[in-house]
Amino acid sequence: MSMVEQVRRNKWLLATVYAVIVLGISVGLYFLVGYLEARFDISGQGLATTAYLVVFLITLVSNASIIVPVPVFVGIMIAAADAMAEISPWGPVLIALTASTAGTLGEMTGYYAGYLGKKIIVTEATPGYEKLVAWMKRHGMLAVFLLSLQPILPFDIAGLVSGASRIALWKFVLPCWAGKFPKYLLGCYFGGAFLSLLPPLPF
């Protein structure tokens, strides 16, 4: 195996390990929130006053990280959506709206980092980074939307390239939000049902 192939293999291995760790933390947080609700007998109505604020703040902070993306807010978002569904059928929609708005605001850190010419080493370690950058520069807003819509590749690249390319902020913000909202909405409505198929935490 050549040195180049070994480096590429290591990048994919690191990316896979990171994804598994983040997924595990997100699932654990979902079950932990459910446990705390049951343990302290907290109803959806009791959570209503703080759920949106908690989701907003955690999602904002998670998406604002441009060194290592931290999407651990997903488990909390899904748990909050399940709780809000007890109050109103529109609860998951409002949670998704809250999370997508906070997430978009958080992603602006990547945009301004690129605008100011900052280089983030971790993005260059992403498999296929150079091809992704070239594709983004060709497709602009559509690329931002598609990267925001998909749940696998780190979205920080979109913000960094958009900022470095000096595209108008609204041309980054609008497709970013348009991609996050349906993705989070699907998570809010179907994430709980999917995670409920997994064995619960042992406590």
Q: Which pLDDT tens digit goes with each residue over 74-86?
A: 778 888 888 787 7
Residue 155 burial by Cβ neighbours in a 10 Å radius (0-12, 13-18, 19+): buried
Q: Which residue has the higher pLDDT, 129 or 51?
A: 51
pLDDT over 50 (residue 203): no
How is residue 166 annotated by DSSP? Answer: T
Q: Which residue has the higher pLDDT, 57 or 27?
A: 57
Q: From the centroid of its chain, how far is CA 132?
A: 19
> Where do runs of H (alpha helix) occur along 40-88?
44-64, 73-85
What is the residue-averaged pLDDT of the chain?
A: 74
What's residue 48's pLDDT? Answer: 60
Residue 87 burial by Cβ neighbours in a 10 Å radius (0-12, 13-18, 19+): middle
Cβ atoms 133, 159 nearer than 8 A: no
Cβ atoms 86, 43 nearer than 8 A: yes
Residue in 151, 184, 144 with CA at minimum distance from that of residue 165:
144
How is residue 120 annotated by DSSP? Answer: -
